[in-house]
Amino acid sequence: MDDQPDGPTGADLAIMAAALAEAERGAAEGGVPIGAALVEDGAVVATGRNRRVQQGDPIAHGEMDCLRAAGRRRGYRRTTLYTTLSPCMMCAGTIVQFGIPRVVVGENATFGGNEEFLRSRGVEVVVLGDRRCEALMRRFQAERPEVWNEDIME
């Protein structure tokens, strides 16, 4: 279910629900169903969702939208970023650039992302294998393959 020996915490599962709610909002708006939540010291600081379609913004991925919603910060060393889907290279690079030490991924079955890149830079990555996240993405990929391919640049 996860890539860490200790596995996800109860808090990880609860906070992923906030990211999943964002992904569902994005789907309802006609966008790519990827949601994210930024947590610091156990409290949700911000949430976001992929808004590429809604805003016509090619870099408005879920993680980027979440970080934008968090606003300017002095640092990210005490944060965890939750995302319903394994991060793309752009989002993974931002995670490394900002020094976010931990990422919790809802699922990586529909998109492998850049987990090894993150780990190679010292980021702890936990994969939940959340079936709800996977089902939402599989449905989107089947219904709107052209938008999904645009999102991942294929």
Active site amino acids: 63
Nearest alpha carbon to residue 87 among 76, 77, 73, 100? 100
C-alpha angle 79-80-83 in degrees, rounded to nearest 5? 145
Cβ atoms of residues 118 and 95 within 8 Å: yes
Element (H, E) at 20: helix 10-28
